[in-house]
Chain A
Amino acid sequence: MSVLDSKIPSGALSTKWSSYKDHIRLVNPANKRNIDIIVVGTGLAGGSASASLAELGYNVHSFCFQDSPRRAHSIAAQGGINAAKNYQGDGDSVFRLFYDTIKGGDYRAREGNVYRLAEVSASIIDQCVAQGVPFAREYGGLLDNRSFGGSQVSRTFYAKGQTGQQLLLGAYSAMSRQIGKGKIKMHTRHEMLDLVIVDGKARGIIARNLVTGKLERFSAHAVVIASGGYGNVFYLSTNAMGSNVTAAWKIHKKGAFFANPCYTQIHPTCIPVSGDHQSKLTLMSESLRNDGRIWVPKNLEDSKAIREGRMKPTDIKDEDKDFFLERRYPAFGNLVPRDVASRAAKERCDAGYGVNATGEAVYLDFASAIERYGREKAKIAHNENASIEEIMELGTQVVKAKYGNLFQMYYKIVDQDPYKTPMMIYPAVHYTMGGIWVDYNLMTTITGCYATGEANFSDHGANRLGASALMQGLADGYFVLPYTIADYLADEIRTGKISTELPEFIQAEADVKAGIDRLMNIKGTKSVDYFHKRLGKIIWDKVGMSRDEEGLKWAINEVQKLREEFYNDLRIPGTVDSFNPELDKANRVCDFLELGELMAVDALNRTESCGGHFREESQTEEGEAKRNDKDFAYVAAWEYTGKPAEAILHKEQLVFEEIKLVERNYK
């Protein structure tokens, strides 16, 4: 029987959040001064939460493993952030954003949470502009929008190809203001390695100071985990090198359920792998699909000739190109959601049409967009007789203004000029919809422990739409958590300072120390990366873009064996009490080695296909994903029992009151 209570307020969908806010308990300003909150993570989710909570008057302790809060992985987000502003007057509304998100997530997200997200989205843009975030603008001085996959309106706000950096710098500046005032105590180069629970409530953390290597204890009245996603379990992903599951996994081991770990997002437009040395993959923003057309040659022979260097993509005539997304999904074309686009690319490459040396790449072509924009420009300039060269030059300028830095990034990495020859792209791991289970308040199954941003599972169901992660991170931190946490902290005003000398803290620190000593004392022969790469390959091959029973069972077994090998043959140079990046990595990879197994367990349990989770056994005759609402319209929340494979499944049945479940159709 399920122990999960999502705490969704009753009442009509559109009034749930406002009536909830009207009725929750508050903490008065004088009492807030006596309350401490720990926030692990300084990305959009953690940074916005820290700043807002400190503004309200709480004492905040913030943590990040980088040398500055501004470097959290949110900085790398390129394309944009959604908000239901309807500035373009193209029919957008809170309901439509809500509907697109539920549908995009393949009907595996909670209506209540998603509606709230859509509702607060407009305030995010107002807040960011007030902070000085320089969003792109039109000549009239108003904000510009672009469109993203999975929607038919233009609701995405952006700052060239670096929306994440600009939003994060906004949150970082809000944090900086509170750091200057002493309301936030910032702990950089600190890694949370355990949660401390006292009398059933989250009361603090154990963190390792990555400069000195010392373990430190921190206490608080509530702990917020905003540590980002776990895509690096695949080793190769678009995540930053340090992104990890450790904070989330540690709370999982202490009682927080982990929801839908198998829902991972493979992004269709990344730069393909170039060799074994590869350490990470680079995303080419989805916004490029606004103007780029995706294709492979129609004829196998042409693909082969390209792979062998006998032919160039520019030699192929339009009629010999297979624009496979436009062909299969005429209504959405190149703007189908990510999971659909990724699988379609893989399908073509598996069939032998791939276009780079490894056979794992398709083209993203800007030639027609450049020409179209060029003609438009020429017309505006009354240059009716412009030559095709002039037109292409004019068009290039337009494309440069829109995507300049992405094109430059591509050029630097691949050494080919994407203005002249199509980009090569291939899907790569990008985002994790799964994460720590939270209720409507964003509280985990541990009292007083919250999870926000990519670290939680809450709003994207089985597939996230582009430009919605930034929205969720900031919604959680600026506009949701500051309310919901008060409802809990109202009971804490008389608690007083929590001592870090409590036996629970001493025990937790001793446990962390024992774990680190165990790793250091293996003294084997292989580096952390050696194991991480092998883990990544298992997960990518069997728990990646498509999964089947046999592969998943194999993966579970392989990960278990690999974990054993890790604990027998790992070598960490250096010492415990010093700056030691290899030890930092080992602390993260040991958790990935457990998470990987749980992902496979979850994927094995879910015998339907939905969103980012494609089960070979569950597809239509045309090879499209086949959902099974009768048996699987639930959130799978896993309880840790000591071994990932023996985790206990709790089901939160999803109730759809507003939306009718239908087959997701982008045709």
Chain B
Amino acid sequence: MKLTLKIWRQNSATDKGQMVTYPIDGIEGDMSFLEMMDVLNEELIVKGEDPVAFDHDCREGICGMCSLFINGEAHGPDRAVTTCQLHMRKFNDGDTIYIEPWRAKAFPVIKDLVVDRGAFDRIMASGGFVSVNTSGNTVDANAIPISKIDADKAFEAATCIGCGACVATCVNASAMLYVAAKVSQLALLPQGKVEAKERVLNMVKTMDEEGFGNCTNTGACAVECPKEISLDNIARMNREYFKGMISAE
């Protein structure tokens, strides 16, 4: 395949940045999108130019590190996959592909396509846990049976990989889906219920402080989420939040 790539280049957080055009040839359908980027970078390095910086690590859709906005869609045109799992067979010879970083106030650009998602970690540090120490004396794992339905729902919520596509997709750059996934997971499990109220209040507060926008229920996040995290989680979080507010008063 022969393709035309239009890629966002930005030297640093303070640099203005611009789209730059790169023609590329010899791309095969079996290559992953990031392998296509590798081919481009190899060419740039040999030519003595600066390769395009992008985040990635596991390359199998689980670490949440990769993060490209491709032709206006987070993680590209395919559904339920991350950029690293997207394959070039989804594109056609002659296509022009626009590649941009996540854009959100809370995710400043570090370089080119790499952004700083530290805000996600700070939200977790404000409540995304169960306060239990390592002791070797916690109760036996089977002491509290958990209905399979709740356990499965908690698991579904816990599959969030923290990639940030939901934020990048949202017109308001809201982090609701990400936060709701963690709040839901822990609220659904007996171990997490004890602190449910403080958790949701603290996490939402930090989310607001970090500069994420409000949720206006457009639902775009769930469409682009590579792990198909359901909007039900947002509804559950809202319920948890109101419960928390009432008892906090």
Contact = CB atoms under 8 A, between A and B. Distances in A.
A576 B154 CA distance: 45
A73 interface: yes
A180 to B, nearest CB: 4
Interface in B184-206: 185-186, 189, 191-192
A416 B141 CA distance: 39
A174 B65 contact: no
Interface stretch (A3-11, A134-142, A377-385, A389-397): A134-142
A579 B53 contact: yes
A511 interface: no
A87 interface: yes
A73 B64 CA distance: 11
B63 A66 contact: yes
Contacts of B117: 67-68
Given A132-B130, A132-B185, A71 B141 contact: no
A177 B60 CA distance: 28
Query: Which of A69, A173, A186, A283 has most B Cβ within 10 Å?
Result: A173
A165 B39 CA distance: 30
B39 A277 contact: yes
B129 A573 contact: no
A211 B114 CA distance: 10
Interface stretch (A367-375, A405-413, A495-503, A638-646): A405-413
Contacts of A139: 148
A34 interface: no
B248 interface: no
A125 interface: yes
A58 interface: no
A527 B45 contact: yes
Interface stretch (A48-56, A289-297, A621-629): A48-56
A67 B65 contact: yes
Nearest to B86: A412
Size bracket of the B interface? 35 or more
Interface in A154-172: 159-160, 162, 164-166, 169, 172
A140 B138 CA distance: 21
A241 B139 contact: no
A415 B87 contact: yes
Nearest to A174: B129
A66 B121 CA distance: 12
Interface string A58-94: 0000000011111101011000000001010000000
B12 A578 contact: yes
A131 B130 contact: yes
Contacts of A140: 145
A130 B130 contact: yes
Contacts of B87: 412-413, 415
Nearest to B189: A132
A495 to B, nearest CB: 25
A85 B134 contact: no
B124 A48 contact: no
B46 interface: yes
Nearest to B34: A279
A76 B120 CA distance: 20
Query: Which of B31, B48, B129, B131 has most A Cβ within 10 Å?
Result: B129
Query: Which of B45, B61, B189 has most A Cβ within 10 Å?
Result: B45
A68 B123 CA distance: 12
A415 B61 CA distance: 16
Interface string A170-184: 001110110110000
B168 interface: no
Contacts of B192: 132
B249 interface: no
B128 interface: yes
Interface in A102-134: 120, 123, 125-132, 134
A13 to B, nearest CB: 19
B211 to A, nearest CB: 18
A274 interface: yes
Contacts of A177: 125, 129, 131
Interface stretch (B1-9, B17-25, B156-164, B233-241): B156-164
B216 interface: no
Contact of A142 (B45, B111, B121, B142): B142
Contact of A126 (B39, B114, B139): B139
B116 A165 contact: no
Contact of A172 (B53, B61, B124, B126): B124
A16 B118 CA distance: 43
B35 to A, nearest CB: 5
B121 A415 contact: no
A482 interface: yes
A271 B65 CA distance: 22
B70 interface: no
A164 B127 CA distance: 22
B74 to A, nearest CB: 17
Given A134-B154, A134-B189, A573 B131 contact: no
Given A177-B131, A241-B56, A279 B42 contact: no
Interface string B40-65: 00101110111101011111111111
B209 interface: no
B59 A137 contact: no
A574 B50 contact: yes
Contacts of B35: 277-279
Given A68-B117, A166-B155, 16 more contacts: A131-B130, A132-B185, A132-B186, A135-B151, A137-B151, A139-B148, A165-B161, A176-B125, A177-B129, A180-B127, A188-B118, A241-B59, A275-B31, A277-B39, A479-B134, A578-B12
Q: Which 10 A-B pairs have the closest CB atoms?
A: A141-B145, A173-B129, A180-B125, A134-B155, A129-B141, A130-B138, A176-B124, A52-B134, A240-B57, A177-B129
22 contacts: A48-B134, A70-B64, A75-B62, A129-B138, A141-B145, A141-B151, A160-B155, A162-B62, A172-B124, A177-B125, A177-B129, A240-B57, A275-B28, A280-B59, A280-B60, A282-B60, A415-B89, A478-B136, A529-B42, A573-B45, A582-B45, A582-B51
